[in-house]
A and B are shown apart, each in its own frame.
Chain A
Amino acid sequence: MRKWLIMLLTVVLGLLGLAGCSDSDKASSDAKDGKVEITYGIWDKKQLPAIEDIIKLFNEKHPNIKVKTEITPYGQYFQKLETAATGGALPDVLWMNGAHVTQYAEGKVILPLSDMAKKDNYSLDNYPKSLIDLYTVDGKVYGIPKDYDTIGFWYNKKIFDDAGVAYPDETWDWTKLKETAKQLTNKDKGVWGFASTIANQEGYYNFIWQNGGYVISKDGKKAGFDDPKTVEALKFYTSFIKEGLSPTQAQMTETAASELFSSGKVAMMLDGPWMVPEYKKNPDLNVTVLPKGETRATAIHGLSNVIAANTKHKDAAWKFVQFLGSKEAAEIYAKTGTVIPAFNGAQDTWVKSVPSLNLQAFIDASEYSVPLPNAKSTGEIWQYEVDILKKAWSQEESIEDAAKELTKKANEALSK
């Protein structure tokens, strides 16, 4: 008798377990009371407050579509997506960057949106053309631009004042940058003049382009890390570490450069407008355009919202994506100073959102901006950049050797 009881219990528990699995599937696909739930995959926690506001506004119009946000830190975001895509479990709507869009579009895991946009008379002219181009693969648009970012030259006014040095402005060039970094570096106080972060978009890419070098050739077939102009730019950028004007690579691994900067240990560094919510907290900080090299240049890039190909709620997801690309959503992004909205005309609101910062610099910079590469293997190449260049950043290897190795690896990836 007791055996039977135990046996029965086992079976029941087992079934419960199985039922548990299928139940949750149902809940997300079944629209019993007309309500559907879609998930929205993002990576930047700083934007969450603005996104929540946008979702609230969206729900006023579409009370039946519930949106759940899923944050994965950028470091793991694309790794998780790749695995999720393989298993058919992508969020319905998600953030995409230029480095990965070709891979995802050709892998058919995200939906082309051109036809739906045409059908709904959804105008793509509201966004800068360069951003639409970035998300166009084989003539089809896969992402609705969400924001864009150029790179700014951030500085700490207090450190400048203490040293009696004039603030940077648009007349600065590389020589002036080096000179000032020397003046501001103060070993006793533990203050560095500049931070040569191992970041590409908000770091060495800008210097490469200012020097007339290139990262990936226009046809997307060849990597240009060993181009003499590129090598020269990388050498200049890392010379700050060599001369003790920047924290070492090891120090920046232990404490992120952005933290050193916002706590007044670093006087100048390059960073994007996505850091505005963070840097505006410190009243000593301000921003201007990048110093110029041979020419003026800054990286431009923007994120977009894309729809997963295996979504069960295509209509709801498309409605949400349209709303995310709308003027109303752009206004929220702008007003809160979260990011520069991609929607044409909303940028002015953003510039005025944080009066203490000279945000106009980011808009001005878009005139001479260079888009980030978007060849299919860009995401993979970015991994190699960190792995290989860090040896040069830590002075273990010469820039020439690292550049050669990186070019070889990148060319292999591009030829795949």
Chain B
Amino acid sequence: MKEIPLQTEVKPAKRLKAASLAKTRKRSDYFWAYLMIAPTMLGLAIFYLWPIIQNFYFSFTEWGSFGQYEWTGLDNYKRMLEDATLLQSFKNTGIYIIFTVPIGIFLSIIIAVLLNQNIKGKSVYRTLYFLPVITMPAAIAMVWKWLYNADYGLLNYLLSLIGIKGPQWVTDPHIALYSVIAVAIWSGIGYNMVIFLSGLQGIPKMYYEAAEIDGAGPVTVFFKITLPLLSPVIFFVTIMSLIGAFQVFDLIFMMIGKGSTALESTQSIVYLFYQHAFVLNDKGYAAAIAVLLLIVILIITAIQMVLQKKWVHYD
């Protein structure tokens, strides 16, 4: 992500200091800076960088029981080309992303803008919208699974009151993915909303005052002022939600589950990875899937980086 440039003010008085002093000063500053970030960097290296390198290596191996493996070269990648399940899981993940990311961002912007107004009890509303974020995903999935239950669930009961026979929300292969998407959007709104709220509060009031004097209506204000000035935040949220959506696992694992008839039409890339890595103990192939996913995410993020020049405004 591109850093939002910070405006650092340099006081004129400081500039006048002797140049040599500044040089040694600088070096010692670097030393301290590196020392300060060392613990984090170390953690990053041990828990992220090293596993990524190892994972890359394992993607060229085949695993037996209990950690034995042998080098098989490109076999795993060749196998991928013929794996229809993998293709299907990419398709499922794609559908999931296409729905959750734009709808999620759209809804959270709307809610953030509404909750940024001076309305009564807005902190109560903010809390309500944020609650799903602090709830365990497993708990959310379990509760929704019960709400969705075709025969005894609340949702279909309510539908039956108005004479509609509700579908099998989580076991019908044509519907299940969308049921998961709905829960994902619902549970993700709060988090994005908070980021957008802070973004909104960072927009200087004077723009709105100027717009008011010029006689702009609320819609014009939203599209001409709020949206452009919020664009760096939207960009940030888009990238993060996209990466998050690519890695969707928990909701599908909890809500759909193993014996389900809808598993094929809902399993995501990471679910497939889990299946190969931990259920079938096919860790080499799983590592190859992880590498593929990494490459796809990298490419898509890079594309976003290029495209952002066209729509993101930094003040």
Which stretch from A112-120, A211-219, A251-259 is at the chain B interface?
A251-259
A406 contacts B by Cβ under 8 Å: no
B150 partner residues in chain A, CB cutoff 8 A: 250-251, 254
Which stretch from B130-138, B255-263, B286-294 is at the chain A interface?
B255-263
B259 partner residues in chain A, CB cutoff 8 A: 198, 249, 252-253, 386, 390
B149 contacts A by Cβ under 8 Å: yes
B161 contacts A by Cβ under 8 Å: no
* Whole-angstrom distance between the Cβ of A295 and the nearest chain B Cβ: 29
Q: Are B170 and A254 in contact (CB under 8 A)?
A: yes
CA distance A177 to B280 in the complex (A): 36
The 10 tightest CB contacts between A and B, nearest first, are: A250-B171, A86-B67, A394-B261, A107-B66, A107-B65, A79-B278, A253-B260, A85-B66, A253-B171, A254-B149
Chain B binding surface, main DSSP class: loop
Chain A binding surface, main DSSP class: helix
Which of A108, A383, A391, A393 counts the most chain B CB atoms within 10 A? A383
Cross-chain contact of B151 among A3, A254, A393 (Cβ < 8 A): A254
Beyond the given A13-B39, A249-B261, could you list 10 further A-B residue pairs with CB under 8 A, ordered by the A residue number?
A7-B32, A86-B66, A107-B66, A250-B172, A250-B260, A250-B262, A251-B171, A253-B171, A253-B261, A254-B148
- Give the residue name and chain of the B residue nearest to A247 (CB): B151
* Whole-angstrom distance between the Cβ of A367 and the nearest chain B Cβ: 32
Q: Are B172 and A82 in contact (CB under 8 A)?
A: no
A380 contacts B by Cβ under 8 Å: yes
B279 contacts A by Cβ under 8 Å: yes
Which A residues are closer than 8 A to B by beta carbons?
A: 3, 6-7, 10, 13-14, 75, 79, 82-83, 85-86, 103, 106-109, 190, 198, 249-255, 380, 383, 386, 390-391, 393-394, 396
Q: Are A103 and B65 in contact (CB under 8 A)?
A: yes
Please provide the chain B residues from 243 to 287 with a CB less than 8 Å away from any CB of chain A in the complex.
257-262, 278-281
CA distance A253 to B173 in the complex (A): 13
Which B residues are closer than 8 A to A by beta carbons?
A: 32, 35-36, 39, 65-67, 145, 148-152, 168, 170-172, 257-262, 278-281
Q: Are A255 and B151 in contact (CB under 8 A)?
A: yes
Q: Could you write out 13 A-B pairs with CB less than 8 Å apart? A: A10-B39, A13-B39, A14-B39, A79-B278, A86-B66, A103-B65, A250-B150, A251-B151, A251-B171, A254-B145, A254-B150, A391-B261, A394-B261
With known contacts A253-B259, A253-B260, A82–B168 Cβ distance under 8 A: no
- Give the residue name and chain of the B residue nearest to A108 (CB): B66
With known contacts A250-B150, A254-B149, A7–B35 Cβ distance under 8 A: yes
Q: Are A190 and B261 in contact (CB under 8 A)?
A: no
* Whole-angstrom distance between the Cβ of B144 and the nearest chain A Cβ: 12
CA distance A393 to B260 in the complex (A): 10
- Give the residue name and chain of the B residue nearest to A389 (CB): B259
- Give the residue name and chain of the B residue nearest to A259 (CB): B152
- Give the residue name and chain of the A residue nearest to B149 (CB): A254
Which of A6, A86, A109 counts the most chain B CB atoms within 10 A? A86
B172 partner residues in chain A, CB cutoff 8 A: 250
CA distance A337 to B172 in the complex (A): 39
Cross-chain contact of A83 among B149, B152, B262, B278 (Cβ < 8 A): B278
With known contacts A83-B278, A253-B257, A383-B280, A109–B168 Cβ distance under 8 A: no
A7 partner residues in chain B, CB cutoff 8 A: 32, 35-36
Q: Are A383 and B170 in contact (CB under 8 A)?
A: no
With known contacts A107-B65, A198-B259, A383–B279 Cβ distance under 8 A: yes
Q: Are A79 and B261 in contact (CB under 8 A)?
A: no
A250 partner residues in chain B, CB cutoff 8 A: 150, 168, 171-172, 260-262
A13 partner residues in chain B, CB cutoff 8 A: 39
B39 partner residues in chain A, CB cutoff 8 A: 10, 13-14
- Give the residue name and chain of the A residue nearest to B28 (CB): A3
CA distance A191 to B32 in the complex (A): 73
B149 partner residues in chain A, CB cutoff 8 A: 254-255
CA distance A190 to B66 in the complex (A): 47
Q: Are B151 and A190 in contact (CB under 8 A)?
A: yes
CA distance A249 to B172 in the complex (A): 11
A75 partner residues in chain B, CB cutoff 8 A: 258
- Give the residue name and chain of the A residue nearest to B150 (CB): A254
B32 partner residues in chain A, CB cutoff 8 A: 3, 7
Cross-chain contact of A82 among B145, B148, B171, B278 (Cβ < 8 A): B278
B281 partner residues in chain A, CB cutoff 8 A: 82, 380
Q: Are A380 and B171 in contact (CB under 8 A)?
A: no
Which of A7, A253, A391 counts the most chain B CB atoms within 10 A? A253
B279 partner residues in chain A, CB cutoff 8 A: 79, 383
Q: Are B261 and A380 in contact (CB under 8 A)?
A: no
With known contacts A10-B36, A14-B39, A255-B151, A396–B258 Cβ distance under 8 A: no
A3 partner residues in chain B, CB cutoff 8 A: 32
B280 partner residues in chain A, CB cutoff 8 A: 380, 383
- Give the residue name and chain of the B residue nearest to A10 (CB): B39
CA distance A14 to B35 in the complex (A): 12
CA distance A163 to B149 in the complex (A): 28
CA distance A238 to B84 in the complex (A): 27
CA distance A393 to B149 in the complex (A): 19
B257 partner residues in chain A, CB cutoff 8 A: 253
B148 partner residues in chain A, CB cutoff 8 A: 254
B36 partner residues in chain A, CB cutoff 8 A: 6-7, 10
* Whole-angstrom distance between the Cβ of A8 and the nearest chain B Cβ: 11
CA distance A383 to B65 in the complex (A): 16
CA distance A376 to B12 in the complex (A): 78
